[in-house]
């Protein structure tokens, strides 16, 4: 075992790392990054990596963007902080709300600002509850999410999330949150079921769940267009049309969690536009500022706004908001990011690069370790399996995807291991076709090294 560097020692003695095995980190130490430029990040030894995950699915414009840095600096000099409480306002928040209203894929009356995807989804739940109280239907409060969904980690958002590690021993999920089936055809379709048939069954199961609970108790349904942290799961064809129809039938409010898919990831401005998904509201974060500063938002349709208005008139205030809701620096950076997406036609560019990206991804499906290669636009994953024919997974304790991620790092590529031994890729939208080739060449070498290791350790044996 190589001794930890000074920075690494200071790290393990001071930080509780999110999403980390805190025990093994004490031995391995962290990978300390120092700077970034374009699609590359550099560690404290100067080693370069392709940031194949845009950090955490967020740095769409890559690193070191001077225009974003300048927008932040200029706003800090002009008005470093201002809030939106008690009737105060400021120009960047107003302008950003106008811009989001203009580009939102759903009828939007108002915008509410938050600082993270988790806060946005918590806010969605609170707005739906508040609205239904205002509308005199206090029983209509349950929220339906899906198994393997990822909506964040605050108490309500972690309850929406459908991944065991986010709930186990945190005493979650909280009451009133339900999980419908996961729309992953490769894993959950019945033998011989087509994508359309699978989608029909999932929608029927959703309807049964609503009937069982009582439609007058079910308030909302939330879904990521393409599930991210659950394994980059693209829903089967016709899925959103069918579950959308069920929600409309039972007057269930539909929320698209666009935290990953928003702003071009799937080759459309919002992910729902690529999948025939017609929500009532969206949550956005991450690429809203290209991850340069924290910011998130939820859109509020007019009927909901009218209900909020009445309820706040009755109570005397709309009692929700964060100190940094609509922070002027974050808003200024978001405005600049949106300007760059439009000016440089980055959504169209992402759509143009997507076939090449997806072709390189699909080619990995031939690799002996890969059970399924899946994705859309500029996001994808490979699911590593012990046996391709039977789709048998590796023992989770073998942590095969985590090992692949380590080999990828040694090849100069950052990717991420997700539940179910998926390895995900989600590079900055500004990646060039040549860089896409370099990314997949490195990933392929990492998978080859993983296969050698798997064979040496005899991990494919049943």
Q: Which residues bind ligand PLP (CB under 6 A)?
A: 56-57, 116-118, 121, 150-152, 224, 228-229, 257, 259-260, 285
If the CB atoms of residues 114 and 451 are measured against ligand PLP, the closer one turns out to be 114
> Contacts for 203-209 with beta carbons within 8 Å, 24 or more apart?
203/239, 203/242, 203/243, 203/245, 203/246, 205/180, 205/181, 206/144, 206/180, 206/181, 206/243, 206/246, 206/247, 207/246, 207/249, 207/250, 209/144, 209/178, 209/180
If the CB atoms of residues 121 and 273 are measured against ligand PLP, the closer one turns out to be 121
User: Cα 455 vs. chain centroid, distance in angstroms?
Assistant: 33
Strands 422-425 and 379-384: antiparallel
If the CB atoms of residues 51 and 257 are measured against ligand PLP, the closer one turns out to be 257
Minimum CB–partner distance for residue 120 and ligand PLP (Å): 7
Name the residue number minimizing CB distance to ligand PLP: 117
Minimum CB–partner distance for residue 68 and ligand PLP (Å): 18
If the CB atoms of residues 53 and 398 are measured against ligand PLP, the closer one turns out to be 53
Rounded to the nearest 10°, the torsion over CA 165, 171, 176, 182 is: 10
**Cα–Cα distance for residue pair 206/247, rounded to 1 Å:** 9
Minimum CB–partner distance for residue 161 and ligand PLP (Å): 8
Minimum CB–partner distance for residue 276 and ligand PLP (Å): 19
Residue 270 and residue 256 in contact, taking contact as beta carbons nearer than 8 Å: yes
**Alpha helices (runs of H) in 86-194, residue ranges in sequence order:** 91-103, 117-134, 155-160, 185-188
SS3 content of the chain, % helix, strand, coil (to 5): 45, 15, 40
Residue 255 and residue 221 in contact, taking contact as beta carbons nearer than 8 Å: yes
Residue 180 and residue 146 in contact, taking contact as beta carbons nearer than 8 Å: yes
Minimum CB–partner distance for residue 149 and ligand PLP (Å): 8
Minimum CB–partner distance for residue 380 and ligand PLP (Å): 15
Minimum CB–partner distance for residue 101 and ligand PLP (Å): 21
If the CB atoms of residues 232 and 384 are measured against ligand PLP, the closer one turns out to be 232
If the CB atoms of residues 15 and 204 are measured against ligand PLP, the closer one turns out to be 15
CA atoms within 13 A on the CB side of 309: 9
If the CB atoms of residues 286 and 353 are measured against ligand PLP, the closer one turns out to be 286
Minimum CB–partner distance for residue 72 and ligand PLP (Å): 18
For 79, the token pair is 């008005």
If the CB atoms of residues 58 and 447 are measured against ligand PLP, the closer one turns out to be 58
**Cα–Cα distance for residue pair 305/63, rounded to 1 Å:** 37
Three-class SS of residue 255? strand
Minimum CB–partner distance for residue 262 and ligand PLP (Å): 9
Q: Please, what sign has the CA dihedral across residues 232, 233, 237, 240? A: negative
Instruction: Count the residues in the chain.
Output: 462
Minimum CB–partner distance for residue 141 and ligand PLP (Å): 21
If the CB atoms of residues 299 and 450 are measured against ligand PLP, the closer one turns out to be 299
Burial of 355 (0-12, 13-18, 19+ CB in 10 A): exposed
CA distances from 286 to 118, 155, 213, 228 (A): 11, 20, 34, 13
**Cα–Cα distance for residue pair 429/427, rounded to 1 Å:** 6
If the CB atoms of residues 152 and 371 are measured against ligand PLP, the closer one turns out to be 152
């Amino acid at each position: 075992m190589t001794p930890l560097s000074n920075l690494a020692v200071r790290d393990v003695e001071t930080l509780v790392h999110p999403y980390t095995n805190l025990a093994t980190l004490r031995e391995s130490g962290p990978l300390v990054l120092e700077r970034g430029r374009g699609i590359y990040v550099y560690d404290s030894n100067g080693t370069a990596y392709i940031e194949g995950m845009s950090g955490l699915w967020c740095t769409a414009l890559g690193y070191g963007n001077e225009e974003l840095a300048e927008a932040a600096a200029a706003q800090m000099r002009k008005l470093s902080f201002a809030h939106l409480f008690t009737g105060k306002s400021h120009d960047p928040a107003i302008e950003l709300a106008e811009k989001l209203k203009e580009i939102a894929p759903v009828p939007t009356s108002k915008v509410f600002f938050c600082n993270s995807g988790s806060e946005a989804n918590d806010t969605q739940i609170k707005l739906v509850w508040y609205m239904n109280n205002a509308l005199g239907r206090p029983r209509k409060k349950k929220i339906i999410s899906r198994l393997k969904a990822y909506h964040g980690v605050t108490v309500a958002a972690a309850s929406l999330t459908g991944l065991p590690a986010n709930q186990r021993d945190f005493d979650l999920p909280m009451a009133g949150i339900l999980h419908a089936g996961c729309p992953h055809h490769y894993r959950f379709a019945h033998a011989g079921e087509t994508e359309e048939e699978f989608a029909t069954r999932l929608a029927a199961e959703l309807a049964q769940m609503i009937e069982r609970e009582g439609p007058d108790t079910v308030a909302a349904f939330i879904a990521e267009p393409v599930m991210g942290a659950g394994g980059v799961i693209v829903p089967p064809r016709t899925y959103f049309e069918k579950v959308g129809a069920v929600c409309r039938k039972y007057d269930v409010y539909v929320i698209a969690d666009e935290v990953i898919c928003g702003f071009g990831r799937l080759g459309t401005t919002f992910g729902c536009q690529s999948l025939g998904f017609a929500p009532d509201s969206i949550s956005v974060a991450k690429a809203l500022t290209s991850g340069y500063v924290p910011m998130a938002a939820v859109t509020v349709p007019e009927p909901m706004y009218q209900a909020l208005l009445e309820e706040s008139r009755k109570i005397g205030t709309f009692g929700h908001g964060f100190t940094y809701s609509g922070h002027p620096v974050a808003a200024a950076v978001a405005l600049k990011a949106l300007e760059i997406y439009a000016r440089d036609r980055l959504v169209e560019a992402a759509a143009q690069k997507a076939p090449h990206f997806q072709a390189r991804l699909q080619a990995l499906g031939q690799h002996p370790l890969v059970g399924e290669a899946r994705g859309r636009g500029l996001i994808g994953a490979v699911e590593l399996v012990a046996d391709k024919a039977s789709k048998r997974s590796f023992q989770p304790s073998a942590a095969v995807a985590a090992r692949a991620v380590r080999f990828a790092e040694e090849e100069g590529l950052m990717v991420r291991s997700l539940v179910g031994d998926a390895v995900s890729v989600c590079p900055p939208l500004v990646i060039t076709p040549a860089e896409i080739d370099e990314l997949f060449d490195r990933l392929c070498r990492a998978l080859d090294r993983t296969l050698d290791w798997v064979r040496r350790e005899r991990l494919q044996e049943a």
